[in-house]
Structure formats: structure tokens, C-alpha cells
Structure 1
Amino acid sequence: MKELCFATNNRNKIAEVSQMLEGKYKLLSLEDIGCHEELAEDQDTLEGNSRQKAQYVWEKYNVNCFADDTGLEVDALCGEPGVYSARYAGPQRSDTDNINKLLHALKNEDNRRARFRTSITLYLDNQQYQFEGIVNGTIAHEYKGNKGFGYDPVFIPEGYEQTFAEMTSEEKNAISHRGRAMQKLIQFLQAQ
């Protein structure tokens, strides 16, 4: 069985993606390959960050791998926080601080349209591939729900009335930006 590293140490993500791969690949975490350093994310695009992380793992550990980066892009804020979504309110990377800053920035805005975008870069047998997933929606006026992470309590996907944080993980993953990007990656791997 071929091995494939997901450039993350999040065991929940590893388990979820491993199920999706249906045993075709053995999924490894960064820890599994002996990578204990924090991977840099200092590019100015989501694509650049996912490529930077995957390329680092490929070059240093010589293992097939993929990495992702996600951003929330809000129309009224000219696409912010975008690539800086995780550290929007500062380097402490607090979900609560990020959401509070976002809600404050939108307090007088009628246009609350936004989209989540995920970029995945795959390094497979020394070849690079990229996949993207997008979900459009709006930003709620207040926190709703207690599931998920990041901006989930204030993001309402198009066609729904509840936020991602009010959905089960199965409901969210079926329509989310990361879920859509992962499906493209999985379909590509299954065709190999």
C-alpha cells in the first residue's frame, strides 16, 4: 500500500481523510514521518502556503504528501481576512478574537457575503498538483452554534439557515470548502 502524508498533526483530519481514501493509501501525519517543526505559512496566497508546506515535506522527508490552507474572504472587506484568516486578530491565533474582529469590522455593513476557500497541494512521485474547494455564504450578526472551529459559528453557507457550527460534522463536510477540495484530491488519487 502506498503511503501519503497529510501535512498536519490533527488526528481528526487524518482519520476523516483516511476513511475517504478507502484503504488505497496509508495516511501519515507529520509526527508519523518525524516532522516536529511548525511548517511555515508566509506566502501571500492560499495556494502559495499549501504549496510551501507540501514542498517542504516532500523535499526534506522524500514522502508523497499534501497540505492545505484555507481562508475566509469577505466581500465588504475586499477579500479580507483571506490568507491571514487564522491570525486575523494577531499572532495568538484565537478563534474568538478573530470572530470578534470580523463582527466589529462588519457591524455597519449590509453586504455580508463571504466565501470560504481551501487550496490543497499534492506532491505525488515528484509531481505537483493543486485542488480548490469553495463554498459561498454570508456572515451572521452573532455567534450561533458550538460545533466546528475557526469562523464556523458565524458562517452561514448559501442555501442554509444555520451556521457551520450548528451542523453535524457530516453535514458540514458534505458541503464545505475543505470537503469539496478533498473530494477532488480523492478522485484524483483513485484514478491513479
Structure 2
Amino acid sequence: MIASQNSHKIIEFEDAFKNTGVTIKSLKHFDNVPEIDETGSTFEENATLKATGIMKFSHQAVIADDSGLVVKALNGAPGVHSARYAGDHDDDANNNKLLKEMQNKSDRSAYFESVLVYLTPEGDKVVASGRIDGEILTARRGNNDFGYDPLFYVPSQQETLAEMTTHDKNMISHRGNAIRNLLSRLQGLWD
């Protein structure tokens, strides 16, 4: 069970898990899903809150993710508040605020971090993380406009995350790296 209703995240997980024999479900498969307050001060704390709440609701093994954009020139903002930086999960407003905040900033370095928490009703817990470094552009580029992807430029690829296919993005992204780290740790648990 992926503790998300975000279609973009679900597609990333489905792509990553497609050759593992594991069937992915998401919160879209359930009614009356409880709201989980993300009151943690770190990505791991928020992912653990989500995993615990959804595991208690679904009585299934859960993978919860908390991810965000960390910008050096903004003292780490938006960080754990990435999804609500300028409003509740409003990608366009978030990107507009980021562009405004980054005006006149010479240091454009940033990274995305993702922390995944796997939790089972039996008490198994596995934590994995991933990161990708890049730069914040001065204008959006690309059509796969999930989150801050149109503004996040990856120098090694010479593209923004929004210019990449889902598969190519998963091969280098913070969430893709976290999923690979999690899968390698779960293999020992599942064997």
C-alpha cells in the first residue's frame, strides 16, 4: 500500500515496482481514508506519521513517502513544507513563490530529498532515503510538471526533471533512489 493519492507519485512507484512481483495499491483504492497531519520537523518524522496512520487504517504493509525541495539560498526552505509552500498542494503557486524568493539569488543550488518508511502490522519498519542535486532555474522548462520539476535542473542530464520521461526520472530522482534503497533492504526482509 502506497500511502498517497498523488497520481504522479503512484506512477513512479508502479514503474519502480513493475518487475518485482509486488502488487501496488494506493489510497485511491479506499474510501474514507483518514487525513494524516504532517506535523513532523523532518521528512522521516512525516513519513513515519503517514505510514503509521495508514497502516492502522488499512491493516496492510505500507510505504509512506515524505519528500521535499531543499534550497541552500533559502536556508533549506521549502523543505518539509514543500507541498504547502504557497498553498495546499498547489504546484503552480509553489513554483511562483519559489521563483519570487529566488530573484536576485546567485546561489541556485538545491536538492530533492525523499524518505520512505515501510511499516507492517507485525512491527517491521524499514527506512530508506534518496537525494538528487541540482539547480533552480529562473523559468520553467518541460511538460511533465509535477511539483517543482519544471524549475529543477539536473546538470548531469542537461534537463529539468519535467523534461524527462517518468522512467528516466526514476533512474536518477530522489524518490527513485529512495525506492531502490528500500527495495534492496526489503529483499532481506522478504527472503
Q: What TM-score do the two structures reach when normalised by structure 1?
A: 0.88
Partner of 2:50 in structure 1? Answer: 53
Q: 1:76-155 counterparts in 2 under 5 A? A: 76-91=73-88, 93-124=89-120, 125-155=122-152
Deviations 1:98-150 (A, max 9, x none): 11111111110110000000010110331211110100000001111111400
Partner of 2:160 in structure 1? Answer: 163
Identical amino acids, percent of aligned pairs: 37
Deviates more, 1:41-50 or 1:56-65: 56-65
Work out the CA distance in 2 between the residues paired with 1:49 and 1:100: 25
Aligned-residue offset at 1:26: 2.5
Contact kept, 8 Å, 1:8 with 1:29, in 2: the verdict is yes
User: What secondary structure does 1:6 align onto?
Assistant: coil
Contact kept, 8 Å, 2:126 with 2:186, in 1: the verdict is no
Deviates more, 1:17-26 or 1:173-182: 17-26
Q: Structure 1: 5+ residue runs without aligned partners?
A: none
How many residue pairs get aligned? The number is: 187
CA RMSD of aligned residues (A): 1.9
Q: Structure 2: 5+ residue runs without aligned partners?
A: none
User: What secondary structure does 1:84 align onto?
Assistant: helix
Work out the CA distance in 2 between the residues paired with 1:116 and 1:145: 18
Q: 1:19 to 1:85 in 2, by over 3 A?
A: closer
Which one of 59, 64, 73 corresponds to residue 61 of structure 2? 64
Q: What TM-score do the two structures reach when normalised by structure 2?
A: 0.88
Q: 1:161 to 1:30 in 2, by over 3 A?
A: same
